Amino acid sequence: MYDRQTDTLWHQLLGTPAFGKLVGSGIQLERLPVTLTTWEAWFAEHPDTKVMDFETGFIRDYRAGAAYADYFASPNTMFPVWRRSTLLPTKSWVFTQLIDGQPKAYPLTGLKDELVANDTLAGQNLVVVHEDGGHAARAYDRGDHTFTSAAEDTTRVLLDEAGAEWEVTENALISVNGDTLDRLPGHMAYWFGWFSFYPQTELYGVEEGE
């Protein structure tokens, strides 16, 4: 990605300048929560959402799949990748976390089966919640709680170890008594891309040394 103000090219996974006058400046972009989901799932929860018109006034076609549909459907990369891992297929989707410099990847296939993954990374207790029917996964601080899904067909409501309900929102988990647990930064990536930048990454569901 790049910005027009300084003509800087940025590493998408590191958040640091890769090319341009800001290289060596020490600037690092803040990691934010990102949700990759379907329009159907998003609109059901956020019916007041505004949508960018496809007719932007620019030549580029912004319709779904117009630019990268063939690439997304292919198991191959569009450029050589010298640092690889065979623990997952090259273009497996992984939900990624980076806490205190410690990276971890959560395979989407595993999240689809588990729906709610209670974990600890760099001393941070977290829970990763998968959204049925799409690529969406969201991570939250879980405090001292252990969560499960309240129903088999949805993860919009979680149950803690005492059976109390918590609503899953974009910004936090919210309990019936008003307690909140904040959402953590995280986003989806291809396994080859994440591993290229973070070869020391942990992989959820794989024991160290496997």
Q: What is the pLDDT along the chain (210 residues), one digit of tens a residue?
A: 889 999 999 998 899 999 999 999 999 999 999 998 888 888 988 999 999 888 889 888 888 888 888 998 999 999 999 899 999 999 999 999 999 999 999 999 999 989 999 999 999 999 999 987 677 899 999 999 999 999 877 789 999 999 999 999 999 999 999 999 999 999 999 999 999 999 999 999 886 655
Token digits of residue 150? 């309240």
Q: How far apart are CA 37 and CA 134, in angstroms?
A: 5
Find out whether 173 and 180 touch, Cβ atoms under 8 Å: yes
pTM: 0.91
Find out whether 10 and 2 touch, Cβ atoms under 8 Å: yes
Question: Apex CA 133: angle with CA 30 and CA 110, to 5°?
Answer: 70
| Conformational region of residue 57, where left means phi above 0, alpha means psi within -120 to 50, and beta covers everything else | left
- The strands making up 102-107's β-sheet, listed across from edge to edge, are 187-190, 93-99, 102-107, 202-203
Find out whether 172 and 183 touch, Cβ atoms under 8 Å: yes
